[in-house]
Amino acid sequence: MKVIHIMSLGVRGELKRESFYKLDLFLFRYVRAMRRCTDKYPLECWWTDYRTLEPLSAKEDGILFRAFPASPGKFPYRYLSVPLYQALKRECGKGPVLLYLHGLRGKWTTLLPLFFHDTPMVVQQYMEGIQYSKKRLLKRPWFFPFYLLERKAFGSISHFFLLYEEARQELSRLVDPARISLLPNGVDFQLFRPMDKQEAREVLQLDPAARYILFVGRINERKGIRYLLEAMPAVLEDYPSTRILAVGEARREPLLNELYALMDNLGIRDRVNFLGQIPNDKMPLYYNASDVFVLPTLTEGMGIVFIEAAACNCPIIGTAVGGVVDIMKNLPRGIPVPPRDPKALSRAIKKVFERPEYYGELRESALSYSWPHTMEKALHVLEGLEDKYFARKTYQ
C-alpha cells in the first residue's frame, strides 16, 4: 500500500526546482518522521503551489516529493489544483493507495472524499475546531454551502486523527467514534533538548543577568501577545530585569503599530524584542536561553511550541483553550491561565520566577509527544485500514 500525504496549504519560501523538497515545512517533518519509523510503505508528499507552471518532483530519503501547479485564487478554497487531482486519479488506479490528508476544516483536501469513494483516507487535524461555528456561519453565510459539502465528505473519511479531547467529543456527534483517534503532533526530542542556559545566551548575545520571557507565534490578535504586554508592568515591579523575546512573523503592520503604541503607553518598549521568524533548528537556543515560555493564545489546535519548550525543560504558561487544555493535563507542571487575563499571566510568571527548578522539570512527562510515540499510533491505524481495504493486494 502506498501512502500519499497531501497538504492543504500552499508553500512559503523560495520555490527552486533543485531544492523545493528541502523546505522546512512541518508536513515534511511529519512524513520524514513516518519514514524513520517504518519502511513498510512507499511514502509520497504532495502539495500545490501557484508559482509553478508544471509539476515538480524529487526523491529524498526514500520519499517522493511532488509539487503541482495551482490556482492563486483565495475563494472558496486556496491552491486548488486540477493537475494534482488528475495525478491522484492515476495513482489510485494503479493499486492500493491510502490518502493521508493534512487539514480538516475549510481546506480543499476536505473535499477529496467526495471524488475518491473507494480509496481509504485519513485526515489529520491542525487548527482548532472541526467545523465552521454557528457564529461564523451567521457572520459569513456564503460559507454555508461549503460547510454542507464538508459535512457530507466526513461520511467517506476512513479515520480522523484529532489533536485534543474537545475536538474528539465534537466530531463524535457527527461520525462513529470508532473512526476517531487522538493523535497530537510530534516533536523531535533530539533537536529540542536541554542545554546550559548561559551558553545559549552567549550564543544569542543575551544579557546573562536578565530574566527572559519567550513568546513564539504569529504576531496577531489570535495569539494574544497583547495580554502578555499588559502583564509586563506587574512583573517588572518585582523582577525589573525582565524582557520579552517575541519570535514570529508580523504580517499586519497596523496591528504592529498598535502594539508599539501599547508598549509606549505601558513604558515597556525597551523591554520587548520582536525577532521575526527564526529557523526551526535555531529555536532550541531560544527555549534554553529563556526563563519561561508564555503563549496567551485565544484559540489553539494543539500548540506544538509548548512541547518544544517542555522538551528543553523551559517552564510553560498558556491559556486553557483548545489543545492547550490537554497539554496542561499531560504536563502537570505547566501553568494554565484564563484567556484575556493579564493579571493571571503576571501571577503565573512570578510563580515560575520564584521556583524555576520545579516548573522546569518537564521533559520526561513530555516524551509521549515524541515522533516515535506519535507515529506508532498512526501506523497502527494505517495497518488496520490496509487489512480492511487491501488484503493481499499489491501496488503496480
Give one DSSP letter per residue of 93-156, joined into a string: HHS-EEEEEE--SS-GGGGGGGT-TTS-EEEE--SS-SS--HHHHHH-GGGHHHHHHHHHHHTT
CA pair distance 382, 37, nearest whole angstrom: 13
Torsion of CA 367, 372, 378, 384, to 10 degrees: -120
CA pair distance 201, 290, nearest whole angstrom: 8
Is 395 a residue whose pLDDT tops 70? no
| Burial (CB count within 10 angstroms: exposed 0-12, middle 13-18, buried 19+), residue 336 | middle
- What pLDDT does residue 315 have? 98
Q: Kindly indicate the confidence band of residue 186, based on its pLDDT and cuts at 50, 70 and 90.
A: very high
Q: Lowest-pLDDT range, 4-13, 25-34, 223-232, 372-381?
A: 4-13
CA pair distance 331, 304, nearest whole angstrom: 13
**Helices and strands of the chain, counted as H and E runs:** 15, 14
Domain 197-368: CATH superfamily, name plus number: Glycogen Phosphorylase B; (3.40.50.2000)
DSSP 19-38: TGGGS--HHHHHHHHHHHH-
181 CB-near residues (< 8 Å, 6+ apart): 159, 160, 161, 162, 377, 381
User: How many other CB atoms are found less than 10 A from the CB of residue 236?
Assistant: 18
- What pLDDT does residue 276 have? 94
Is 20 a residue whose pLDDT tops 80? no
Q: Contact 84/77 with Cβ under 8 angstroms?
A: no
CATH entry 3.40.50.2000 includes domain 2-186+371-390: yes
* Residue ranges per structural domain of the chain: 2-186+371-390, 197-368
Residue with cell 472541526: 130
- What pLDDT does residue 22 have? 80
Helix (H) / strand (E) element for 377: namely: helix 371-390
Q: Kindly indicate the confidence band of residue 142, based on its pLDDT and cuts at 50, 70 and 90.
A: confident
Same fold, 2-186+371-390 and 197-368: yes
Is 304 a residue whose pLDDT tops 70? yes
Is 13 a residue whose pLDDT tops 70? no
Interval 74-91 mean pLDDT: 85
Whole-model pTM: value is 0.93
Phi, psi (deg, nearest 5) at residue 160? -115, 130
Is 170 a residue whose pLDDT tops 90? yes
Is 123 a residue whose pLDDT tops 90? yes
| Closest to 30 (Cα-Cα) out of 3, 70, 50 | 3
User: How many other CB atoms are found less than 10 A from the CB of residue 194?
Assistant: 16
CA pair distance 267, 283, nearest whole angstrom: 28
- What pLDDT does residue 236 have? 98
CA pair distance 316, 327, nearest whole angstrom: 10
CA pair distance 93, 230, nearest whole angstrom: 57
Pairing of strands 56-60, 63-69: antiparallel
Using one digit for the tens of pLDDT, what is the confidence trace for 244-282? Answer: 999 999 888 889 999 999 999 999 999 999 999 999 999
CA pair distance 156, 135, nearest whole angstrom: 26
Phi, psi (deg, nearest 5) at residue 311? -65, -25
Q: Contact 317/294 with Cβ under 8 angstroms?
A: yes
Top pLDDT among 208 and 137 is at 208
CA pair distance 359, 335, nearest whole angstrom: 9
